[in-house]
Amino acid sequence: MSSYRQPGVVLTDRHFTVPLDHSDPGGEQIEVYGREAVAASRVGDDLPWLVYLEGGPGFGARRFVGAEAWLGRALRDFRVLLLDQRGTGLSTPANRQTLPLRGGPREQAAYLAHFRADSIVRDCELIRPRLTGGAPWTVLGQSFGGFCAVRYLSAAPEGLKEVLITGGLPSLDAHADDVYRAAYPRIERKVAAHYARYPQDVERARAITAYLAEHRPESAGHRLTPEGFQSLGILLGSGSGSHQLHYLLENAFVRTPHGTELSDAFQEAMRTSASFAGHPLYALLHEAIYGQGDRATDWAAERVRGEFPQFDAAATLAGDGPVLFTGETVHPWHFDVDPALRPLRETAELLARRTDWPVLYDPERLAANEVPVAAAVYHDDMYVDTADSLRTAAAIRGLRTWVTDEYEHDGVRAGGPRVLDRLLALVRDEV
């Protein structure tokens, strides 16, 4: 272990060895990393632990500088473990460079099947007694981290003192088709709100889409396409995302000796925003997190998109309507245009066709839950369906909700300490 200081915080690197397959504890081992954070004034105190599960899938825990955002509030009460879930951050990596060590696409897909919420919870249960001496701990789950927290409540509630969920109450039984069938209308509402705020972006988006359709430029090996441009709508799920998208569009074109072209600055910004190089597991496992039972996910977002023809960029350009952005969806073409994903296309196909996903949630156990749970449900969350979240909240005994339209999906980050403070008050019966 190594420790170091940031303003007001002492951080310690922690490395844990866990089985790749928890049903075979003596088999292959991988490493999971966690960054311990404690207030500098409380280093020697006997504090309870909070483990933070980041959203995703496929993102390492947020890298804070000092006591930013919600972390400062947490450090008043807890030692915090910022966990890099398996395959992310400083944990054993899983990407186009490392996965060939497993073998071919079939071996890679079998390996990645162990990177869902069920395995993440088993990792937590191996790590917990090493840190707490066996005492239960508090879990804070953001987005997909909340999905993991509901799995935790289903599989190992004895390890939990209390659970705090932000924008991450999953449907207990929806297939991926159902998830995306509910998602596209939400995305359309967010796009309409963006264009109402920035009406000048309607023509800008049409012009950019038309240019990409005609020229198909590349930036650092990343093919820039109309569909890729539409995927920038993922920004619209965060509190400042509409403004970020507007600023991205405003300098899209420059005049050159050869006529008007997409600027290098825009192409680089689009490539950076659209690339999965830093989080390939997001693309590989995004639909797999909804897999339960013997029904394949089978590129659900792509298939269901066909039910919403208003998202067809080519058809839009043939008329005079606005180009609709898309959101948190992954498509087969992502594995053609992105050099970070291109070598993993067949692996992704095998995961999409998989028909033996373990069931993740236990409705009977959740109905008998005794762990204090509080969840922030964002009223029109673009990423997680509000109606599904509220149905799941009603299915978990004792869960208290805070339903708010003050924040978007990133409320726990954008809201500083306020969101965490409210959830802690709910689980402690202080409000």
Active site residues: 143, 356, 409
Q: How far apart are CA 376 and CA 418, in angstroms?
A: 11
Pair 142, 151: CB distance under 8 Å: no
| Residue among 5, 390, 407, 393 nearest 241 (CA) | 407
Q: How far apart are CA 149 and CA 160, in angstroms?
A: 10
First-to-last CA distance in the chain? 40
Buried (b) or exposed (e) across 253-269, using 16+ Cβ within 10 A? beeeeeeebbeeebbeb
For tokens 């991450």, the residue is 168
| Alpha helices for 58-163 (secondary structure H) | 71-74, 105-112, 117-132, 144-155
Q: How far apart are CA 295 and CA 106, in angstroms?
A: 19
Q: How far apart are CA 246 and CA 226, in angstroms?
A: 17
| Alpha helices for 235-356 (secondary structure H) | 241-250, 264-274, 280-285, 300-305, 313-318, 334-337, 345-353
Q: How far apart are CA 318 and CA 116, in angstroms?
A: 42
DSSP-derived pairing of the beta strands 222-223 and 218-219: antiparallel
